[in-house]
Structure 1
Amino acid sequence: MEKGKSDDWLTADEQRAWRTYLDVGTLVLSRLGRDLEPFGLTINDYEILVNLSESPERRMRMSDLARATLQSKSRLSHQISRMERAGLVRRENCESDRRGLFAVLTEDGWETMRKVAPHHVAAVREHFIDLLPEEAQKAIRRALTPVAEHLRAVRGPN
């Protein structure tokens, strides 16, 4: 263990770094969520639309979508049900696995994605990217990449 560090407590600098990270993450996601409200979407809805829009044939197995969005299968199922009622997605059976289901982006879902994406990108720029010089963006990427890689490696199945 490094001198001056304890397993029990964070140092003052570590505490400030951790709390700043928590504050920024919470505040940015909250702001982006509010920016999606006029479109009738939540941040979770948008994340699902993005994943489906970037997938081959605009479809994903529900289990893969749950992993990609870090949601439990049960929570994702409720989310997809709500999005189905809104006409954004539909479920389809998986021919190769009778128990498997696909979430599929509908045409209305695709049009919603195309309409909302430019507004979402503008909000990401306004509330995050444009506030940070390019060097700070690179530093954040360098600093957080090992954390993301570690968490992906230790993440268990949903």
Structure 2
Amino acid sequence: MDEPRWLDEHEMAAWRGFVAASNLIERRLEQQLKESAGLSHTQYEILVQLSAASDGSLRMTDLADRLVTSKSGLTYQVTQLEKAGLVFRRSCPSDVRGVFAELTEEGWRVLREAAPGHVATVREVLIDVLSREQLAVLAESLGEVSSRLRAADR
């Protein structure tokens, strides 16, 4: 059996910094969205993804891919949004197994109201903390990690 490649001091500092920062950022975003819009961060991201689609709707499988979440987890969150009147589901006309999630007018309204506070919090906890150079390195680095993990999942 091969020996594990333990993290050196520099690697451990990077890992611990990433874990702490990502958890603290997620906690702050979750809190801000709950207080201002009554949404979880995942629910907000569902509304964002639907709003970015040309007609405000996406197949559930495509939505799960974009959110990097399980189909069962997405189904639960969409059900909650549907109960709140922010999203509705409809069947796919060309595939009986396919289901679309679509933003309602109320979903558009809630998203428009929630977005400014969310963006302000993203700026406060991450964007405005870093220099342009640090942001470029972060975007490139995390983009590479995401690309490799997505490729490995395919």
- Per the normalisation by structure 2, the TM-score is 0.93
Aligned mates of 2:142, 2:82 — CA distance in 1: 35
Q: Which of 18, 22, 25 is the equivalent residue of 1:25?
A: 22
1:13 matched residue in structure 2: 10
- Displacement of 1:152 after TM fit? 1.6
> Partner amino acid for 1:15?
M
Q: Which of 141, 150, 153 is the equivalent residue of 1:143?
A: 141
- Displacement of 1:104 after TM fit? 0.4
Aligned mates of 1:100, 1:139 — CA distance in 2: 39
- Per the normalisation by structure 1, the TM-score is 0.91
> Partner amino acid for 2:97?
R
- Displacement of 1:70 after TM fit? 1.5
2:120 maps to 1:122: yes
Which ranges of structure 2 fall in alignment gaps of 5 or more residues?
none
Q: Which of 48, 51, 59 is the equivalent residue of 1:50?
A: 48
2:98 maps to 1:97: no
> Partner amino acid for 1:138?
A
Secondary structure class of the residue paired with 1:102: strand
Secondary structure class of the residue paired with 1:90: strand
| Count of equivalent residues | 151
> Partner amino acid for 2:105?
E
1:82 matched residue in structure 2: 80
- Displacement of 1:69 after TM fit? 1.0
- Displacement of 1:144 after TM fit? 2.4
Secondary structure class of the residue paired with 1:56: coil
Secondary structure class of the residue paired with 1:9: coil
1:112 matched residue in structure 2: 110
1:133 matched residue in structure 2: 131
Indicate the RMSD between aligned Cα atoms, in angstroms.
1.2
Find runs of 4+ consecutive structure 1 residues off by over 3 angstroms: none
Aligned mates of 1:139, 1:104 — CA distance in 2: 35
Aligned mates of 2:136, 2:91 — CA distance in 1: 42
